[in-house]
A and B are shown apart, each in its own frame.
Chain A
Amino acid sequence: MRLAWTIMGFCALVILLAVGLRLNPREVPSPLIGKPAPPFELPLLLAPDKTFSQKDMLGKVWIMNVWASWCPPCLVEHPIVTRLARSGVAPVVGLNYKDAREDALPWLKRNGDPYQLSVFDAAGRIAIDYGVYGVPETYVIDRKGVIRYKHIGPLTPEVAEKKLVPLVKALDAGS
């Protein structure tokens, strides 16, 4: 009887630790999933006299990628973002985060510009509205302007192929 209790207690502890230690504390679940994308109107990185708003994308499924020239992981995911954008699965909009034009523009020239356009969030205010805390981050926003998915950290080929692309296709199909 006592042995049974001890074994049960031990198993409970093992299960608790197995689940608890496998959770990634860096992955903070975003409360923004399923909510309308926070509104903004920001100047374009390439054309400071023009602005872009999340409203301009209503009716389209699109991907928003938060990046900065000072962010090494952004360079790591850059080929994946480029491939995603070239595949034409959805327009990819860049949110250039707390960067300077004189750094961001050469970065795009050096590494290629996969973005349909990039907006320039020098103060990082809009990024805060989007709950950004670790660049790069990637969002999928549906036709009604609702955030459907958020990836924190550099995109991997697995995430792009197994999560992003299928989700965008499903949203495009109208579900």
Chain B
Amino acid sequence: MQDLDKRTQALSAELRCLVCQNQSLADSNAPLAVDLRNQVREQLAAGKSESEVKAWLVERYGDFVLYRPPFNAGTALLWGGPFVLLGAGAWVLARRVRRRREEQARGLELSEADRQRAAKLLE
């Protein structure tokens, strides 16, 4: 029984309450959240697996109930966005470093005019 409580609790923590959207089913005391929690518990007790219960909820309320939405066309930006930004940042950084290095390398080679000017100064 305790095991069932724990499983219900763990699963509800991953599900969004639809009435108060910034709370999980586990945290919310909205009447619908209580009903849904009872359903989750009942279905787990009846021997359904966690993923079956999730699928049951998604059938009714959509991916929105999941705090960890699956990867699909609609969520591609959500999942891929951070990596795209990271890649873009790395690219900009690499370009900058390369450019600075080129500038520095070029800076060490004196042109003929510079050389003459330096020689004049040193005289």
A-side residues, CB < 8 A to B, are: 25-26, 28-32, 98, 123-124, 128-131, 133-134
Q: A133-B18, A133-B19 are in contact. Are A128 and B62 (CB under 8 A)?
A: no
Contact B39 A128 (CB under 8 A): yes
Q: Does B21 contact A (CB under 8 A)?
A: yes
- Flag if A25 contacts B21 (CB, 8 Å): yes
Known: A28-B18, A128-B36. A133 touches B31 (CB 8 A): no
Find chain B residues with CB under 8 A from A25 CB.
21
Distance in angstroms from B17 CB to nearest chain A CB is: 9
Verify if B106 is at the interface (C-beta below 8 Å from A).
no
Told that A124-B35, A128-B32 touch, could you supply 7 new A-B pairs with CB distance under 8 A? A28-B18, A31-B60, A31-B62, A98-B31, A124-B31, A128-B39, A131-B61
Q: Collect the chain A residues with CB atoms within 8 Å of residue B61's CB.
A: 28, 30-31, 131, 133
Whether a CB of chain A sits under 8 angstroms from the CB of B64 is yes
Distance in Å from the Cβ of A112 to the closest Cβ of chain B?
27
Name which residue of chain A comes closest to B61, CB basis: A131
B3 CB-CB contact with A under 8 Å: no
Q: Which residues does chain B contribute within 8 Å of A123, judged by CB atoms?
A: 35
- Least CB distance, A100 to chain B, in whole angstroms: 14
In the bound complex, residues from chain B placing their C-beta under 8 Å from that of A29 are 62, 64
Residue contact B64 to A28, C-beta cutoff 8 Å: yes
Closest to A135 in B: B32
A31 to B62, CA, bound (A): 5
Given contacts A98-B31, A133-B32, contact A128 B60 (CB under 8 A): yes
- In the assembled complex, B103 has its CB within 8 A of some CB on chain A: no
A32 contact from B18, B19, B31, B60, Cβ within 8 A: B60
Interface check B59, CB cutoff 8 A: yes
The 9 closest A-B pairs by CB, nearest first: A133-B18, A131-B60, A31-B62, A28-B64, A131-B61, A124-B35, A133-B32, A29-B62, A133-B19
